Structure 1
Amino acid sequence: MAMRRGRDDIMMFAITAVAITFLAFNWTIGVMGFHGSLKTRTTRSALYLSSA
């Protein structure tokens, strides 16, 4: 409907803005997840100490 009324430029701008936001969000989540996985892999797990 928006393209029939000559508002295709506004729709293109809105879709582009949503796409850029989506990519930035996913890039941030991906980098933070990768950083967290590297931290988890390099951190030693605590030793199990038996109290008995």
Structure 2
Amino acid sequence: MPGRKYVEDKKIKENKSWGCAYHGDYGNFFCSGSGKPYGPTYTIGDTIGCYL
């Protein structure tokens, strides 16, 4: 994000078994600790969105 400092390559230390996430580096969707193929991977220049 422009104007904000963050660590781009910071690794997540744990994967909560109750959480859900899409991992753009692998294209997998994880929910409750298990993952399966879901969609395309992200690459440089991609624009992504998030619905909360």
Tell me if TM exceeds 0.5: no
Question: Whose helix proportion is higher, 1 or 2?
Answer: 1
Higher radius of gyration, 1 or 2: 1
Q: TM-score, normalised by structure 1?
A: 0.19
Higher relative contact order (CA 8 A, sep 6+): 2
